[in-house]
Amino acid sequence: MPTILDGNQVRDRILRDLLPRAEAFAATGRAPGLAVVLAGNHDASEIYVRHKVKAAAELGIVSETLTPPASVTTKALLALIEDLNQRADIDGILVQLPLPPQVDARRVLLAVAPEKDVDGFHPCNVGNLVVGRPGPRPCTPAGIMELLRQYGIAPGGKRAVVVGRSDIVGKPMALMLLHAHSTVTICHSKTADLAAVCREGEILVAAMGRPAMLTADHIRPGATVIDVGMNRITDAAEANRIFAHAPDKLAKFARKGSLLVGDVDPQAMLEKAGAYTPVPGGVGPLTIAMLMTNTIEAAERHSGRGTAPHLTEPRTSGSGPPC
């Protein structure tokens, strides 16, 4: 039987290890501060933010959720971000995506001061990742690296295949595996013979956002499969196809009318992988844990107790500071 890589257990260990650091920081006179910007009405985003706020409260991080209306303009959001950049009590700023369609999301994300960018998305922090300098890392791939570490799966010397090239997961995941001495291949929609390339991977990371797209034909026997996908399916035929060998899942679908499934066929992982992350309960919990890690590290850097580089050049309003 393959090893199930339990993200909930790893998350709990990460948060447990963070607690004394958060308490030690609070003993200096204030708690770490996290601002979450949640614009508009998006059910999934609201759920994610509630989980983030709950995790912050359990660590003693002071979180502030700002909820501009769905009609908010880019200019108004830039002004809000600028205010948060200037506040000494805010160590981390998170802009929850997606933003309303009329908002220029790229400009808003670029406006976050790099030293407060706890998502690790700002080009300054992406550059730090590329060259291996300290700084906040994108939460999902950072959580995956911690999951591998805690389960004793060393990427060094292994062939790793990342399916998906997003700025949030695919690209930073490939860079982190490369820094950990894996030989890395990135696949995408134009990759020829995707299954054959995937089968080269001793570590296979699926991050495409397409339910059960990768099948047994894509998995090398004994591979470690990291399924980043979180897709809600509502079509009965699709549910029957994916969960044909899982009557309990089909019964749950019949009750609820929907199910969560990753980007990899769950039966294929069970039959061919040496270790795999379940959906749900695999990668998802780690994203929030690493957000908390980034927030506390940002607070430590702001107080002069951290080791990551500071960015001290003067800011240009609305555009973020230069690197």
- What CATH number has the domain bearing residue 72? 3.40.50.10860
Indicate whether 109 and 177 sit together in one domain. no
- Which residues are known to be catalytic? 52, 96, 119
Count of domains for the chain: 2
Indicate whether 251 and 291 sit together in one domain. no
Output the pLDDT for position 306.
Answer: 60
Indicate whether 176 and 250 sit together in one domain. yes
User: Would you state the structure tokens that stand for residue 277, as one six-digit string?
Assistant: 């992350």
Indicate whether 250 and 295 sit together in one domain. no
Per-residue pLDDT of the chain (323 residues; tens, 9 = 90+): 899 999 999 999 999 999 999 999 999 999 999 999 999 887 778 888 888 999 999 999 999 999 999 999 999 999 999 999 999 999 999 999 889 999 999 999 999 999 999 999 999 999 999 999 999 999 999 999 999 999 999 999 999 999 999 999 999 999 999 999 999 999 999 999 999 999 999 999 999 999 999 999 999 999 999 999 999 999 999 999 999 999 999 999 999 999 999 999 999 999 999 999 999 999 999 999 999 999 999 999 988 766 544 333 333 334 444 56
Say if 8 falls within a structural domain.
Answer: no
Indicate whether 48 and 111 sit together in one domain. yes
Indicate whether 104 and 170 sit together in one domain. no
Say if 189 falls within a structural domain.
Answer: yes
Dist CA 160 CA 304 (whole Å): 37
Indicate whether 191 and 110 sit together in one domain. no
Indicate whether 100 and 203 sit together in one domain. no
pTM for the full model?
0.91
CATH of the domain at 266: 3.40.50.720
Dist CA 218 CA 264 (whole Å): 9
Say if 18 falls within a structural domain.
Answer: no
Which residue is listed with tokens 């976050």? 112
Output the pLDDT for position 305.
Answer: 67
Dist CA 214 CA 275 (whole Å): 16
Output the pLDDT for position 148.
Answer: 98
Indicate whether 109 and 184 sit together in one domain. no
Output the pLDDT for position 146.
Answer: 98
Output the pLDDT for position 177.
Answer: 98
Say if 206 falls within a structural domain.
Answer: yes
Say if 322 falls within a structural domain.
Answer: no
- For residue 104, the enclosing domain spans 25-121+287-302
Say if 63 falls within a structural domain.
Answer: yes
Say if 59 falls within a structural domain.
Answer: yes
Output the pLDDT for position 48.
Answer: 82
Indicate whether 154 and 273 sit together in one domain. yes
Question: In the beta sheet, which residues pair with residue 195?
Answer: none
235: Cα separation from own chain's centroid: 27
Output the pLDDT for position 323.
Answer: 65
Dist CA 37 CA 64 (whole Å): 8
Residue 170 backbone phi and psi in degrees, to 5: -60, -55
Indicate whether 262 and 168 sit together in one domain. yes
Indicate whether 102 and 168 sit together in one domain. no
Say if 51 falls within a structural domain.
Answer: yes
